[in-house]
């Protein structure tokens, strides 16, 4: 075997504050960075998938930076397990370093990779990188997982230390990168995807940094502004958190040090992300089942015409339609709107939350299994620490509260733009816009009956 080790980049597409890269660089071996476009995942996606374009742009940036250092990012395309094992063999690597991913698919994949590497006399070293606290690091006094967010958050904050937020430096150790000639990066069409413009998402480390700097200048307003989709009140960093083009330690450290109601509220949101990750790690069956077993088999009518209208933003409820159109056009949906749209699908259209969860999974740039599942189970009242089933959002009231002047609706439903600030939330009959699919009052009662019957 040679003196080489591989760093396998996955959802950690950056060259700063990176646990696996740091540990590889200080291991005393020559470090080669690799990235695999995983066929097992890509084959399930449409050719225009924005996330693949985001990843591709981010990988290009990594490759350019490594090439400028006289090193390379070796990029391959294939089944992840076979390809990483083959790469370890090709480079005679002693070990593969990577950051831990606790999604069920990733756990299975990494177990298989480890088995194969070990059988060839190599090792797989995994590191915590994408969260501050992972798996069972934050437990209650009975050493059980927390099922309620606030005590989890308090325990999370009590555990926080300088060490937990400390960076993994890369720059001082870059001389341990293996120097080599640059190899080619397969183009998106070569990977089977179309060239989609994702400039607006500001991909890559540079994009993540620019967005974070912009957000820091307005973080103090976050608590007040974050619920209003028409204003720039949130960070828009979720896609960067998903693909690791930002460092969670840097984000959490900055928010923690800044303090104040805006930064503290934002830190809470980062903790929600970790709450859902540990929940899925403890209870992987949540991928297909409800947290509250009594709600697992509610006989939702699942009207497919309702579902199609919801997906297309054609329900006749402007705030829901604007939300769904934002998702379809940009791959992003504001958190308040995710709650409204999800609640509407389940409790007004009486469609199983899993249908909506799957649609979001396909469309969201920031799709993250744990957060998406957690968010859907929250809205559907089937999750732990969820919205109680009898609290049903009225879409029109939500619209009036969070988009009072209708500015967000006007942006995504131009056919309603001429309406006044009041009627835009519940428009009169008009040819250009659908009549409401359902009556909220009637559906509310039907939803209550379904949940009550399931709970008995």
User: Where on the chain is the footprint of ligand FAD (CB under 6 A)?
Assistant: 226, 234-238, 241-242, 269-270, 272-273, 276, 334-335, 338-339, 342, 360, 364, 366-368, 371-372, 374-376, 379
Tell me the closest approach of the beta carbon of residue 40 to ligand FAD, in angstroms: 20
Residue of 424, 400, 398, 396 lying closest to 412 (CA atoms): 424
Tell me the closest approach of the beta carbon of residue 223 to ligand FAD, in angstroms: 11
Q: Please say which residue, 193 or 353, places its beta carbon nearer to ligand FAD.
A: 353
3-class SS of residue 296: coil
Tell me the closest approach of the beta carbon of residue 211 to ligand FAD, in angstroms: 9
Tell me the closest approach of the beta carbon of residue 438 to ligand FAD, in angstroms: 20
Tell me the closest approach of the beta carbon of residue 116 to ligand FAD, in angstroms: 31
Tell me the closest approach of the beta carbon of residue 268 to ligand FAD, in angstroms: 9
Distance, CA of 194 to CA of 51 (rounded, Å) = 12
Contact 138, 155 (CB under 8 A): yes
Distance, CA of 95 to CA of 114 (rounded, Å) = 10
Q: Please say which residue, 199 or 420, places its beta carbon nearer to ligand FAD.
A: 199
Tell me the closest approach of the beta carbon of residue 367 to ligand FAD, in angstroms: 4
3-state DSSP percent of the chain in helix, strand and coil, to 5: 55, 5, 40
Tell me the closest approach of the beta carbon of residue 378 to ligand FAD, in angstroms: 6
Residue of 400, 278, 275 lying closest to 336 (CA atoms): 400
Q: Please say which residue, 237 or 450, places its beta carbon nearer to ligand FAD.
A: 237
Q: Please say which residue, 91 or 300, places its beta carbon nearer to ligand FAD.
A: 300
Q: Please say which residue, 360 or 451, places its beta carbon nearer to ligand FAD.
A: 360
Distance between first and last Cα of the chain:
64
Q: Please say which residue, 193 or 376, places its beta carbon nearer to ligand FAD.
A: 376
Q: Please say which residue, 263 or 270, places its beta carbon nearer to ligand FAD.
A: 270
Q: Dihedral of the CA atoms 128, 84, 88, 119 (nearest 10)? A: 80
Q: Please say which residue, 187 or 358, places its beta carbon nearer to ligand FAD.
A: 358
Contact 170, 22 (CB under 8 A): yes
Chain residue whose CB lies nearest ligand FAD: 375
Distance, CA of 298 to CA of 390 (rounded, Å) = 15
Residue of 250, 163, 267 lying closest to 205 (CA atoms): 250
Contact 71, 33 (CB under 8 A): yes
Q: Which long-range contacts (CB under 8 A, 24 or more apart) does 113-120 make?
A: 113/80, 113/81, 113/84, 113/85, 116/81, 116/85, 117/85, 117/88, 120/85, 120/88, 120/89
Contact 415, 325 (CB under 8 A): no
């Amino acid at each position: 075997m040679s003196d080489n080790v591989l760093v396998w980049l996955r959802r950690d597409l950056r060259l700063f504050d990176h646990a696996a890269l740091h540990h590889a660089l200080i291991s005393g071996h020559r470090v080669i960075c690799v990235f695999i476009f995983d066929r097992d995942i890509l084959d399930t996606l449409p050719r225009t998938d924005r996330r693949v374009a985001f990843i591709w742009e981010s990988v290009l940036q990594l490759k350019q930076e490594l090439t400028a250092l006289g090193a390379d990012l070796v990029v391959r395309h294939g089944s992840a397990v076979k390809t990483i094992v083959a790469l370890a063999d090709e480079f005679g690597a002693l070990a593969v370093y990577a950051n831990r991913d606790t999604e069920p698919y990733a756990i299975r994949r990494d177990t298989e990779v480890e088995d194969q590497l070990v059988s060839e006399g190599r090792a797989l070293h995994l590191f915590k990188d994408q969260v501050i606290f992972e798996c069972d690091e934050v437990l209650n006094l009975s050493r059980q997982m927390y099922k309620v967010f606030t005590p989890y958050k308090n325990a999370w904050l009590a555990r926080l230390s300088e060490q937990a937020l400390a960076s993994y430096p890369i720059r001082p150790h870059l001389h341990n990168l293996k120097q080599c000639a640059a190899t080619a990066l397969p183009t998106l069409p070569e990977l089977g995807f179309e060239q989609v413009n994702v400039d607006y998402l500001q991909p890559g480390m540079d994009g993540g940094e620019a967005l974070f700097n912009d957000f820091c200048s307005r973080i103090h307003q976050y608590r007040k502004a974050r619920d209003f989709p028409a204003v720039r009140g949130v960070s828009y960093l979720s896609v960067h958190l998903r693909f690791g083009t930002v460092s969670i330690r840097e984000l959490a450290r900055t928010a923690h040090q800044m303090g104040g109601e805006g930064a503290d509220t934002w830190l809470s949101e980062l903790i929600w992300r970790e709450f859902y990750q540990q929940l899925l790690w403890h209870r992987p069956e949540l991928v297909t089942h409800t947290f509250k077993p009594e709600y697992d088999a509610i006989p939702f009518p699942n009207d497919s015409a309702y579902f199609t209208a919801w997906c297309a933003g054609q329900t006749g409820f402007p705030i829901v339609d604007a939300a769904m159109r934002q998702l379809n056009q940009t791959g992003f949906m504001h958190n308040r709107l995710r709650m409204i749209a999800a609640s509407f699908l389940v409790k007004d259209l009486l469609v199983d939350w899993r249908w909506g969860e799957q649609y979001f999974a396909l469309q969201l740039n920031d799709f993250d299994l744990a957060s998406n599942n957690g968010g859907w189970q929250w809205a559907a009242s089937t999750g732990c620490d969820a919205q109680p089933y009898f609290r049903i959002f009225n879409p029109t009231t939500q619209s009036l509260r969070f988009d009072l002047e209708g500015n967000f609706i006007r942006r995504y439903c131009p056919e309603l733009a001429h309406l006044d600030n009041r009627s835009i939330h519940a428009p009169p009959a008009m040819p250009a816009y659908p009549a409401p699919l359902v009556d909220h009052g009637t559906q509310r009662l039907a939803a209550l009956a379904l949940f009550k019957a399931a709970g008995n």
